[in-house]
A and B are shown apart, each in its own frame.
Chain A
Amino acid sequence: MGAIDIKGLTRSYGDFVAVSDFDLTVVAGECVAILGPNGAGKTTVVEILEGYRHRDGGEVSVLGLDPAHPNRQWRQKLGIVLQSANDLNELTVREAVEHFARYYPSPRDVDGAIELVGLTEKASTRASNLSGGQRRRLDVALGVIGRPALLFLDEPTTGFDPEARHIFWDLIDRLKHEGVTIVLTTHYLEEADALADHVVVVTRGRKVADTTPADLGSRSKNLVSVRWLEDSELKEQRTAEPTKFVRELAARFTGEIPGLEVVRTTLEEAYLELVNVSEP
């Protein structure tokens, strides 16, 4: 049994199908990234796992419990970092962390948790006076204060500058080394590449890929785009065997192939292609 087991999950909002026939297994100790464009259903899936949203169908088990019926013991093993938060504004960083530490049976040391997210110098600052990135790190401190076995991070680095993002990635790396199972949603492919052991791509509520970042990358490395001009039209062919294709193409033309380009797609393009193919 995995830390998370999902079979045939469905959820609609009125007529809009947000998630359909979604399967996923997350092994304890791994970091899974759920990738997808805005509105793909990432947050719906994650908030069903967190016990916030109800589902219309399917079987879901999170740390051995159906999240539709959460209990306190189960909540103690979970860390949740929501997509956006503007609460706690009147509390200082230390007050907020101290407060939430009280809800858990064996919390981290308060100053240790503040240091872990790099907010030691801001410990006495009110949450309302933190920058966006600092505020996000406070949310992470609150997510990990109870030493969760499973941590949810919903788009944790949206709006970060590149440096802040790398500092954040180091933090997640440290948590991974502590053995925390991490479910991360993001629309940054490089973030999934840097952090995840396992990548799931979701578009329009459906899973279109479930693999390792390396495999997703190698897929893209196999995918090459050959472009040329024929009958004054730009033609394009995607192929895993570009040499073979160009040889065939060369046979059809006498001399040079007009406008020939052979382009290797990047990881980003592979992802975009995956996402676009599944759009109607």
Chain B
Amino acid sequence: MVFSILLPIFLLVIFGSVFNKTKLGNTNVSFAQYFVAGLLASGLLYSAFQQVAISIPEERSNGTLKRLVGSPMPPSVYFAGKLAASTFTYIFQAIALLTIGHFSYGIHLPGSATLWLDFVWISVLGLAASSLLGIAFSNFAKDGQAASALAAPVVLFFQFTSGVFFVYANLPKWMQDIAAVFPLKWMAQAMRGVFLPKLFASQEVGHSFELPKAAVILSVWTLAAALLCRFTFHWLPKNET
């Protein structure tokens, strides 16, 4: 929990300090500016996907879910609670990242209401897709420890391949192709659309931040994850049914 909240902030401080003066290619954009977009997208994975994917198996193995499902609690309340926890964690993370980024590493904040609005819908869609994927993922682990061992490498893999730690356009084509199927690449790219200057779009693989395409792909993932949850979610450990 503490890990999920603080990790992106640690990453910003470490990478921001090391690559403070680095500019991307022949542009005027600092690595920190590029990195903060990726960290905000990663924050969606940490606070929603990872937090949900670990806490549900933990609560399944310690009996929380068994108690809840035996009570008259409507099941939707549980999922709403998970979404709310993810949202609060993300809001806290985003405020911390932008405040520290702006004052310590000179990161430029979005300059127009339209860009802030883009930031909000990317965040909302990212939270929805990530938490639902977290719920679907929770079916694979028998307890919190196993879930942690499964989810953390998944998050790390996508951070490396989706343009968080490295500039996406500089990655090998096969890596880009894999990442382009999954949500993190689109969340990070859409965030760059909010945080990088318009001119930087020419540096992207598709010569555009492709916000509409990101919206469609994240929506498809949200729907697919919701369907997966609908048919695979189980409240009780497999040997207790």
Task: Name A residues whose Cβ lies closer than 8 Å to a Cβ of B.
Answer: 13, 47, 50-54, 72-73, 75-76, 78, 80, 82, 84-89, 100, 103-104, 142, 146
Contact = CB atoms under 8 A, between A and B. Distances in A.
A80 B68 CA distance: 10
Contacts of B202: none
Contact of B63 (A51, A53, A86, A104): A86
Nearest to B69: A52
Interface centre among B71, B74, B239 (most CB of A within 10 A): B71
B194 to A, nearest CB: 36
Contacts of B236: 52
Nearest to B58: A87
At the interface, is chain A mostly helix, strand, loop or mixed? Answer: loop
Given A47-B240, A87-B59, A52 B66 contact: yes
Given A52-B236, A82-B67, A85-B67, A103 B62 contact: no
B66 A82 contact: yes
Interface in B204-241: 236, 239-241
B113 interface: no
Interface centre among B67, B69, B70 (most CB of A within 10 A): B70
B64 interface: yes
A72 B67 contact: no
Contacts of B80: none
B72 interface: yes
Given A52-B236, A89-B62, 13 more contacts: A52-B66, A52-B240, A52-B241, A54-B241, A72-B74, A73-B72, A80-B71, A82-B63, A82-B67, A84-B63, A85-B63, A86-B62, A87-B63
A7 to B, nearest CB: 22
B240 A87 contact: no
Nearest to B241: A53
Contacts of A85: 63, 67
Interface of B: 59, 62-64, 66-67, 69-74, 236, 239-241
Given A82-B63, A87-B63, A104 B241 contact: no
Contacts of A103: 71-73
A244 to B, nearest CB: 52
B237 to A, nearest CB: 11
17 contacts: A13-B239, A52-B70, A52-B236, A53-B241, A54-B241, A72-B74, A73-B72, A75-B70, A80-B71, A82-B63, A82-B66, A87-B63, A87-B67, A88-B67, A103-B71, A104-B72, A146-B72
Contacts of B59: 87
Nearest to A76: B72
A160 to B, nearest CB: 19
A80 B62 CA distance: 16
Contacts of B69: 52
B47 to A, nearest CB: 19
Contacts of A87: 59, 62-64, 67
B57 to A, nearest CB: 13
Contact of A50 (B63, B70, B72): B70
Which 9 residue pairs are nearest across A and B when measured between Cβ atoms?
A87-B64, A75-B72, A80-B70, A87-B63, A76-B72, A85-B63, A103-B72, A87-B62, A72-B72
